[in-house]
Chains A and B, each alone.
Chain A
C-alpha cells in the first residue's frame, strides 16, 4: 500500500514538473491531466470514491478541457520558442521552498499527522454523509448556497468578458 502510494506520488510530482517545463502547451495540459488523475487515484486509495470520481468529472472532464480550449484560443505559438525559465527562477524556487518548509513545520507539530486513521465501519457511506452535511442547517448549508452565488458570479464574469459588445 505504501509502495503504491509512493509510486503514485512520484508520478504526480513528476508530471507536475513536466507541466511547467514542457514547451508545447498542449503537452503541458496533457501532463496536467496525468497529475490530476494521480490525485484521483489517491482519493480512491483513501476510500473516498466520491471525491475520486468528482475529481475526474470536474478537474479532468471540465477544467482541463477548458485549458485545452484556452490553449487553442491563443495564437498558434503552441511550440513556444523562448526558454520556459527566465533569470528570476531561483527567487521563485526559494520562495516555494520556504513555503513548503513552513507548511511542513506546521504539519509536523499537528498530532494528527503521525496517527494512523481508524478504519471506516463497513456500512459507512461517505456520499450520504456528504449529502446530509451539505443540507444540514447546523453544518454547511450556508456555504452550499453561497457556492451557488459564487458560480453565478463566475458565469456573469465569463459571459461579460467573452461576449462581443456590439
Chain B
C-alpha cells in the first residue's frame, strides 16, 4: 500500500472530524441565536460580530473549568463513557457521501470516507452502539439522577431504533441498494424520495429526533426531574464531549435524512463542479437543523410513558405499514409507472389513520 493512499485516508478523516467539530461549535451559536429570535431576545451578540466568536469563548471557558470525578464513581468507566459517546457520533458520518467523486491530479477522490455496500446497515449499527456511552455514563456516575437518565435514554433510544431501521428499509426499497451513493443517485432529476414517500421521511425524522434525545423527546435530560440526566456528574471537558456528541449527532442525522430522502448532494450543476456537492449538503443540513430548533422552541416535552407508547404502539406499526405499502407500490409501478403515486396516497392515509387513533386515545384518557 503506497503512502499517498494513507495520506488520503488520514486527510479525509481529519477533514470530516474538524468539519463536524466546527459544525458543532457554530451549531450551538446558530441554535442560541435562533431560540433568541423565537423568544424575542437578542441572543449571544457580544463576542465578535453577531456573536460569531461566542463558541470559541465557550470552548476556552470549558477548557479552564475544573473536572470533578465523584468519589464513589466507577472511575475507569466514568472516564471512558464520554469517549464512547463522542466516537460513534463521528464515525456514523463515515459512509455519508458528501458529493460526487472528483479528479485531483491523476487520481479519483471520492467525497466520502468509506463507500461500503452495506452503508445503511452501518448507520444502524453505529446508532445502536451510541447507546453505550450514555447508559455507562449514567451507571458509572453512581448518582440516582444520572442512573435514571441513562436508563431512560437507553430505553428510548433502543425503542426508536426499530422505527429508524424500518424507515431505512423504506429508503433501501426505493433506492434498490444499501449503498448510500446508489440511493442518492436513484434520486436524480428531482425525484427525491420524500415526494414518493413523505410519511417515511417524517417517520425517519421523528425517530432521529428521539435517537439524538432532542426536543420534544429530551426526557433523559428533563431538568425539572432529573437535573441533567446522564451527564449530571460530568464537568469541564468531559461534559463538553457529551455536548459535542449531541450536536454532532444532530448534524449527522440531518445529513442522513438529507441523503436518504432529500436528494443528498444532488442539485443543479453538481456534475460539472463536484465540489458543489458539499455545498448542497450544507444547505439541506442547515434547513433541517432549523426545523429541529424550531420544534424545540415550539413544542413542550412529552411525558415518558407517552413517549414509549408512541414509539411502540404508533410509530412501529406505522413504519411496518409504510414499508409494506412501499413494497406493494413498487411492484405495481412495474406494471404501470404512474402507480408509483399510489405509495404517497396510501401512506398519507395510513399516517392520517395513525394520527386519528392517537387523537381518539388521548381524548378517551382525558375524559376517563
Contacts and interface: CB of A to CB of B under 8 A. Distances in A.
Interface of A: 24, 26-27, 30, 33, 49-50, 53-54, 56-57, 60-62, 65, 68-69, 72, 125, 127
A18 to B, nearest CB: 13
B124 interface: yes
A115 B322 CA distance: 47
19 contacts: A24-B74, A26-B136, A26-B139, A30-B136, A33-B132, A49-B116, A49-B117, A50-B118, A53-B118, A54-B121, A56-B125, A57-B121, A57-B128, A60-B125, A61-B131, A61-B161, A62-B158, A72-B139, A127-B118
Contacts of A69: 154
A53 B135 contact: no
Contacts of B127: 61
Contact of A61 (B76, B118, B128): B128
B70 to A, nearest CB: 16
Contacts of A50: 118, 121
| Majority SS at the chain A contact face | helix
Contact of A60 (B116, B129, B136, B158): B129
Interface in B60-112: 74, 76-77
A65 B132 CA distance: 8
Interface residues of B, number: 24
Interface in B120-175: 121-122, 124-129, 131-132, 135-136, 139, 151, 154, 158, 161
Contact of B129 (A27, A49, A56): A56
Interface string B165-190: 00000000000001000000000000
Which of B77, B124, B126, B132 has the largest number of chain A CB atoms within 10 A? B132
A95 B42 CA distance: 72
A69 to B, nearest CB: 8
B156 to A, nearest CB: 13
A125 B77 CA distance: 40
A127 B127 CA distance: 21
Contacts of A49: 116-118
Contacts of B116: 49
Contacts of B158: 62, 65
A71 to B, nearest CB: 9
Contacts of A68: 132, 135-136, 139
Nearest to B130: A61
Contacts of B122: 53
Contact of A62 (B77, B128, B136, B178): B128
A33 to B, nearest CB: 8
A61 B129 contact: yes
B232 to A, nearest CB: 17
Contacts of A61: 124-125, 127-129, 131, 161
Given A60-B129, A61-B125, A61-B129, A127 B74 contact: no
Contacts of B154: 65, 69
Given A30-B77, A53-B118, A53-B121, A127 B128 contact: no
Contact of B124 (A24, A57, A125, A127): A57
Given A56-B125, A61-B131, A72 B151 contact: yes
A68 B129 CA distance: 13
B138 to A, nearest CB: 10
A54 B152 CA distance: 25
A148 to B, nearest CB: 13
A26 B77 contact: yes
A65 B121 contact: no
A10 B212 CA distance: 35
Nearest to B138: A72
Given A49-B118, A72-B151, A26 B128 contact: no
Contacts of B139: 26, 68, 72
B231 to A, nearest CB: 18
A130 to B, nearest CB: 11
Contacts of B128: 56-57, 60-62, 65
The 5 A-B residue pairs whose C-beta atoms are closest, nearest first, are: A61-B128, A56-B125, A57-B125, A53-B121, A53-B125
A30 B151 CA distance: 17
A54 B125 CA distance: 7
Which of A33, A57, A62 has the largest number of chain B CB atoms within 10 A? A57
A155 B363 CA distance: 31
Given A50-B118, A61-B127, 19 more contacts: A24-B74, A26-B74, A30-B77, A30-B136, A49-B116, A53-B118, A53-B125, A54-B121, A57-B125, A60-B125, A60-B128, A61-B131, A61-B161, A65-B132, A68-B132, A68-B136, A72-B139, A125-B117, A127-B118
